[in-house]
Structure 1
Amino acid sequence: MRSVAVIGSGPTGIYFLKALLESEIKFNITLFEQAAALGTGTPYCPTVNSKQMLANISSIEIPNLLETYCTWLHKLHGSELEIYEISKENITERGFYPRILLGKYFQEQLIEIIKLLIAKGHKINIQNNSFVRDVDYLNEKFELRVHSYNFIKQILTYDHVVMATGHYYDKAIDAGNLMASPWPYKKLNKIRNCKVGILGTSLSAIDAFVAVAHNNGSFIENETGELAYNLNPNVSQLDITMMSRKGILPEADFFCPLPYEPLEIFTEELVQNFIHHCQSDLLDETFHLFKLQLLYSDPDYAASISLEALDLQQFNTAYFSPRINHDPFVWAADNLRTTQLNYNDKKTVQWRYAILRMHETFGLIVPHLTLEDLERFNSLIKPIFVDDYASVPHQSIKRILAAHKAGILNIKKLPEDYVIGNPADEGFIAIKGEDFKENFDYLIDATGNKPLSDTDFPFQSIST
């Protein structure tokens, strides 16, 4: 019986194990997990995320395991759903629900998949609380060095290894009132009744905002469905500022057909052909094909931005400038109203849908780009794909608007030259740059950029 090590028991590991259910070959499987509990993965773990943090993936987008997420949710008892402020009659396949609830779904699906694997003749060995420190390939075998919480060290060999380690966040570099990430969420509990800065305005930053806002008050929905934010009685000085290079918010999740409809022009076959025959102009040729697809999918949008005449830099500007040139909260409110109407009418914004469908195929060219074009790709077209893909649940936008209306949330644009530091003998964090100066009691880095060490922060002693 051939052996296989699966490193990580989150969604990636779970989908691999599900695929093994179709295998005629029987395996001796060892499942390694660094946490005590199996199945949730970091983004959906209850010790890392609060129940207020929403997953930005809906049931219709999640590849099926043994049952759909929506089906599983409907099977939960009403009292359990109440814990997450969910009513069974409002559960839909396009709804967004708390991250830790999605983690519980993955966890229960994993348990059932393991039972089926055993019934089919596979052997399963589970090693939780275990860290795989290194993987080496020696004498046609994979050698794993494994450490566990009880200080036992092992060297184990396997025929196959599946790396399903997934999401990573750095736990080691928090420095007092400077936090390297919003996770685990419990470390944010001490942030109360003070001035808070959040680096970032997208998914992770919204998680940080939600956690801090929940610790200092509550979101209440009135009879008309409008959300309001009320501070706790002992809180009077909460002030949250979210900051990013563009100073914009992500857009609300938009309605589109799922699974994806096929693209008419920007096909994988044509992109692969470019990869094989284009050399120095690979990025520009692929972008030209990208524009042809946008023109076909949404000619009105293409005409409104004069798409045919735009190069990569100009298209990036055309994509982002409407939001950059508007108040972020006004834009968010208008965008939310539009997307809610589109959901009700099942109407798709075709240019956004085209970009959404093109992002993975466009990414095929990345390993073949010159260093110069890779830099252009990362700075000009990748941010568009990320922004389009990372639209957020409508509830997240409602919370942002409610907090701003309550006077406790602002958004600011960071200058290119900003630095972060502790003023001498002061107990706060300062951010300074050209025409920019802010002091915070706490600063949370929610940009998703993982520093390698303390020195990789733009952190220095600065004067105010």
Structure 2
Amino acid sequence: MAIVGAGPTGVYTLAGMLAAAPSALSVDIFEKGACAGPGMPYSPDMNAPCMLSNIASRELPPVVTSLNDWLRSLDMSDLSGLGLAPGLISDEAFYPRVALGAYFTAQMAALIAQGRRQGHRIELHLRHAVTDVRPREAGIEVSWTFPGGTSGAVFADVVLATGHRWPDSVEEGGVMLQSPWPAEKIARLPEERIGVLGSSLSAIDVAVTVASARGRFAEAGGALRYEAQQGRGGFRLSLMSRKGLLPEADYWYELPLPELRRLAAIAGEATARSDGTLLERAYGAFLDDFHDADPDWLAALGGADLPRDEFAAAYFAPRLAADPFDWARKNLAVAERTVAEKRPTPWRSALLRAHELFEGLVPRLTDAELEAFHDTLKPVFTDSYACVPHASIRRLLALHEAGVLEVIRLGSDSRLVDGPGGPAVEYGGRRAEFEIVVDARGQRPMTLADLGFPSLAEGDLLSGPLRFDEFVLPLRSSSPGRIHCVALPALLRRHPFVQGLVNASEMGGATAGAILRAMRETGH
């Protein structure tokens, strides 16, 4: 088999294969970069130590060893290089992205060593860029380039585990937008008026990286303050989004999450496809379960009869009515208190569990239901799941208090324009002008054709609609080979929540299980 992409999803796929392989495996892993394990989101080449991950250490699925056990095995100098110290290691900690990248690099090395000791053939091909994946009569042909030339081979199973793709810049509305990565380039930006599209963790990372290059964050009087370097405090950062909201601070919840009996029953139905009523039935069960979990919260929202197309508006209304920094300050205080007390908030825990259940339901929806879900419920689940480390909120507040950060609510009628002094954003009869605009709105959904494998862009490749059932492409070809697509950008439309490391672990495990079952059934 071949694994294309050696980031976290590739790591978890290999781990799943080794955990249950009935016989000796032959695995080739292709990585276009110089390092296996971290992928783009956690690569030291793309991230700065000030950029934090948004997954608590207790949530990260272990590979060979747990994240905290691995960190505790490092010496002081190694920890310091990752922006950590022994006293910062805990189950509730949010670590720098580069620390998670180093962890996955170590875990990939440990998996390969373990697999070879068990008699498996595992070859890691670094600086090998796969250029095409094509079904053939003998299997799936993979072509690649490497520093010494080009080559190819045929495999029974090919796992597409390529992840995020970030061009250096993109054009939108005639305006060139800067990529938020690599962090080193963001830190070197000379411009003083910097607009940032987005207000989630990626946008926060941009703001913190720019500010850290021009000053420092320091504790003063029990609060975090931002101090610009002499002569470098004249810059202005503007985070811009349609709602103009900041993400909320990460909250405490117990594992396992509370069960939502009615919604879980619908999610567990054996029916593979919706008959057009699944979304509405699931929403009704969702409201009934929330009435049991936190009736006061649901009543304040609008009650158990709240129509689905009004749910998101009711959910966001209190925050939209407040100043985003005032809300962030109060929300942070509550989050810090509940985390210190390890006291869950019932509606938040229930919403996180509902997110998990809807994650399994969404691929079964009809196309019309899928559109309705994206328009109504998805923004709520995305917001709940996108909470950020407390340190990130503290840094935003410090930047705002220093007078260098603002949040702009664009509304639904904004547009980018190219002005005489640089790019500008027009919104609600107003105009914000910048010297540069950074696009930090996150990974956009992509098609198979966007992945960079020409044969997958051919219209007659597939035998049916691309729904990614079990992440296996439905090939029209009579090839005995199988293509397993766990490339996150290509999954986002049908699987809108597959963006975290927990998802990477689940998809890697599911893909490994499918390959091993097929190997037992076919004998290859």
AA of the residue aligned to 2:302? S
Query: Is the 8 Å Cα contact of residues 170 and 179 (structure 2) preserved in structure 1?
Result: no
Which residue is equivalent to 2:95?
A: 97
How far off is 1:172 after superposition?
5.4
SS in 2 for 1:134: strand
How far off is 1:229 after superposition?
0.3
Q: Does 1:210 align with 2:208?
A: yes
Identical-pair percentage: 35
| Structure-2 separation of matches of 1:370 and 1:120 | 45
Which residue is equivalent to 1:19?
A: 16
| Structure-1 separation of matches of 2:115 and 2:100 | 23
> CA offsets per residue over residues 161-189 of structure 1, 9 Å max, x none?
12211222233537999434201112213
How far off is 1:388 after superposition?
0.4
Q: Does 1:346 align with 2:342?
A: yes
Which residue is equivalent to 1:458?
A: none
Q: Among residues 183, 186, 190, which one is paired with 1:185 in the alignment?
A: 183
AA of the residue aligned to 2:383? D
Matches within 5 A, 1:237-386: 237-267=234-264, 269-273=265-269, 279-386=275-382
SS in 1 for 2:377: helix
> Mean Cα displacement is larger for which, 198-207 or 170-179?
170-179
Q: Relative to 1, partners in 2 of residues 1:355 and 1:37: Cα closer, same or farther, differing over 3 Å?
A: same
| Structure-2 separation of matches of 1:329 and 1:344 | 22
Matches within 5 A, 1:64-75: 64-75=62-73
| Structure-1 separation of matches of 2:156 and 2:5 | 17
AA of the residue aligned to 1:30? D
> Mean Cα displacement is larger for which, 181-190 or 255-264?
255-264
SS in 2 for 1:116: helix
Query: Is the 8 Å Cα contact of residues 47 and 183 (structure 2) preserved in structure 1?
Result: yes
> CA offsets per residue over residues 218-267 of structure 1, 9 Å max, x none?
1112362x211011112131100101000001110000013434333321
> CA offsets per residue over residues 83-113 of structure 1, 9 Å max, x none?
4443312310110011011100110111111
Query: Is the 8 Å Cα contact of residues 192 and 216 (structure 1) preserved in structure 2?
Result: no
Unaligned runs of 5+ in 2: 451-524
| Structure-2 separation of matches of 1:259 and 1:120 | 34
> CA offsets per residue over residues 46-73 of structure 1, 9 Å max, x none?
1111111001112211111121111112
AA of the residue aligned to 1:442? I
How far off is 1:441 after superposition?
0.9
Matches within 5 A, 1:211-230: 211-222=209-220, 224=222, 226-230=223-227
| Structure-1 separation of matches of 2:170 and 2:87 | 44
| Structure-1 separation of matches of 2:240 and 2:104 | 33
SS in 1 for 2:328: helix
What is the aligned length? 445
> Mean Cα displacement is larger for which, 186-195 or 232-241?
186-195
Matches within 5 A, 1:1-20: 4-20=1-17
> Mean Cα displacement is larger for which, 140-149 or 48-57?
140-149
| Structure-1 separation of matches of 2:406 and 2:273 | 49
Which residue is equivalent to 1:39?
A: 37
| Structure-2 separation of matches of 1:277 and 1:99 | 38
> CA offsets per residue over residues 260-289 of structure 1, 9 Å max, x none?
34333321x423439569623321111001
> Mean Cα displacement is larger for which, 47-56 or 172-181?
172-181
| Structure-2 separation of matches of 1:277 and 1:36 | 42
Two-structure CA RMSD over aligned residues (Å): 2.2
| Structure-1 separation of matches of 2:267 and 2:305 | 21
Q: Among residues 398, 401, 406, which one is paired with 2:397 in the alignment?
A: 401
Which residue is equivalent to 1:441?
A: 435
Unaligned runs of 5+ in 1: 454-464
SS in 2 for 1:266: helix
SS in 2 for 1:309: coil
Query: Is the 8 Å Cα contact of residues 81 and 87 (structure 1) preserved in structure 2?
Result: yes
| Structure-2 separation of matches of 1:419 and 1:451 | 21
SS in 1 for 2:263: coil
How far off is 1:17 after superposition?
1.5
SS in 2 for 1:292: helix
Which residue is equivalent to 1:457?
A: none
Normalization by structure 2: what TM-score? 0.81
Query: Is the 8 Å Cα contact of residues 275 and 365 (structure 1) preserved in structure 2?
Result: no
Query: Is the 8 Å Cα contact of residues 251 and 392 (structure 1) preserved in structure 2?
Result: yes
| Structure-2 separation of matches of 1:195 and 1:322 | 30
Q: Relative to 1, partners in 2 of residues 1:174 and 1:80: Cα closer, same or farther, differing over 3 Å?
A: farther
AA of the residue aligned to 2:395? R
Q: Does 1:128 align with 2:122?
A: no
How far off is 1:350 after superposition?
1.0
Q: Relative to 1, partners in 2 of residues 1:162 and 1:372: Cα closer, same or farther, differing over 3 Å?
A: closer
AA of the residue aligned to 2:377? I
Query: Is the 8 Å Cα contact of residues 257 and 350 (structure 2) preserved in structure 1?
Result: no
Q: Relative to 1, partners in 2 of residues 1:278 and 1:130: Cα closer, same or farther, differing over 3 Å?
A: closer
Instruction: Return the structure number with greater relative CO, CA threshold 8 A, min gap 6.
Output: 2
| Structure-1 separation of matches of 2:160 and 2:321 | 43
Q: Relative to 1, partners in 2 of residues 1:124 and 1:58: Cα closer, same or farther, differing over 3 Å?
A: same
Query: Is the 8 Å Cα contact of residues 177 and 442 (structure 1) preserved in structure 2?
Result: no
Which residue is equivalent to 1:59?
A: 57
Q: Relative to 1, partners in 2 of residues 1:303 and 1:173: Cα closer, same or farther, differing over 3 Å?
A: closer
Q: Relative to 1, partners in 2 of residues 1:228 and 1:261: Cα closer, same or farther, differing over 3 Å?
A: same
Which residue is equivalent to 1:415?
A: 411
| Structure-1 separation of matches of 2:313 and 2:439 | 26
Q: Relative to 1, partners in 2 of residues 1:84 and 1:26: Cα closer, same or farther, differing over 3 Å?
A: closer
| Structure-2 separation of matches of 1:160 and 1:451 | 24
AA of the residue aligned to 2:139? K
Query: Is the 8 Å Cα contact of residues 164 and 443 (structure 2) preserved in structure 1?
Result: no
Q: Among residues 110, 120, 127, which one is paired with 1:112 in the alignment?
A: 110
How far off is 1:322 after superposition?
0.8
| Structure-2 separation of matches of 1:165 and 1:372 | 29
